[in-house]
């Protein structure tokens, strides 16, 4: 589904964020991308959803080079991808229901579709009883569940989770990870960037480890560190 061929990314000031990356990620995989801060995890994910372009090399999605997608068509490509970040990025003036519904509204979902899918997805993440609550009325873990519902409501092919548990307590962290595993079990590819050793170890799925922009380990199943 996703393929990096000889990909490097150099930012202004000659800072090399990624160097000669070659990976393939199949549909339905759960991949943990690990490494210290500054190792290139977020840059790699930004290349997948085309927020950044490689300096050299090519990123493919279903054998289509992303650099061939015209800017005006990028929103349509990104409908294949749901994103979850460390900072929740919820709209404070909207309820949990309205935040999730907004993801469908901007992609021109019908009212009937919104009324059917939003409660279904909020129930899936355990927030069906709090859909009328505003973000300020929710805990950090609950807010992240709403973010996950918003990312998944269009049933994307890929969920990208960039340090999604960085601001959460251990209990909330495990709840979010269980939800990501549940979504993965439904056939959605999950790319998780994390520096949390314990959660990566518990997942025990494929691990790609970055160090100074290079892949130093790619295990089909494994732990954060050997």
Q: In the chain, how many domains are there?
A: 1
Residue 69 inside a domain? The answer is no
Residue 10 inside a domain? The answer is no
Residue 7 inside a domain? The answer is no
Under the banding of pLDDT at 50, 70 and 90, the label for residue 164 is very high
Question: Which residue in 215, 212, 218 sits closest to 17, CA to CA?
Answer: 212
Q: Answer yes or no: is pLDDT of 17 > 70.
A: yes
Residue 135 inside a domain? The answer is yes
Domain region containing 109: 91-155
Q: What pLDDT, on the 0 to 100 scale, is given for residue 222? A: 60
Q: Answer yes or no: is pLDDT of 149 > 60.
A: yes
Q: Write down the pTM of the prediction.
A: 0.92
Residue 70 inside a domain? The answer is no
Tokens at 221, concatenated: 């199943």
Residue 148 inside a domain? The answer is yes
Question: Which residue in 226, 176, 167, 171 sits closest to 203, CA to CA?
Answer: 176
Under the banding of pLDDT at 50, 70 and 90, the label for residue 226 is very low
**How many Cα neighbours within 13 Å face the side chain of 135?**
16
Residue 102 inside a domain? The answer is yes
User: Among 34-38, 55-59, 220-224, where is mean pLDDT lowest?
Assistant: 220-224
Q: What pLDDT, on the 0 to 100 scale, is given for residue 223? A: 60
Q: What pLDDT, on the 0 to 100 scale, is given for residue 225? A: 53
- pLDDT, the chain, mean: 94
Under the banding of pLDDT at 50, 70 and 90, the label for residue 67 is very high
């Amino acid at each position: 589904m996703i393929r990096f061929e000889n990909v490097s990314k150099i930012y202004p000031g000659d800072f090399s964020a990624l160097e000669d990356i070659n990976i393939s990620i199949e549909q339905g995989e759960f991949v943990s991308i690990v490494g210290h801060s500054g190792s290139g995890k977020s840059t790699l994910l930004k290349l997948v959803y085309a927020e950044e372009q490689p300096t050299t090399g090519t990123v493919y999605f279903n054998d289509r080079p992303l650099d061939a997608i015209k800017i005006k068509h990028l929103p349509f490509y990104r409908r294949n991808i749901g994103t979850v970040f460390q900072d929740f990025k919820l709209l404070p003036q909207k309820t949990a229901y309205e935040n999730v519904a907004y993801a469908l509204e901007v992609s021109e979902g019908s009212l009937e579709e919104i009324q059917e899918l939003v409660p279904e997805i909020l129930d899936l993440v355990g927030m069906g009883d709090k859909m009328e609550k505003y973000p300020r009325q929710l805990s950090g873990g609950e807010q992240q569940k709403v973010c996950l519902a918003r990312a998944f409501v269009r049933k994307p092919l890929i969920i990208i989770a960039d340090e999604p548990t960085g601001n959460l307590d251990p209990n909330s962290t495990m709840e979010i990870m269980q939800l990501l595993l549940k979504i993965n079990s439904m056939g959605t590819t999950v790319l998780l960037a994390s520096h949390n050793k314990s959660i990566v170890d518990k997942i025990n799925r494929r691990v790609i480890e970055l160090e100074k922009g290079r892949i130093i380990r790619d295990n089909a199943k494994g732990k954060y560190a050997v």
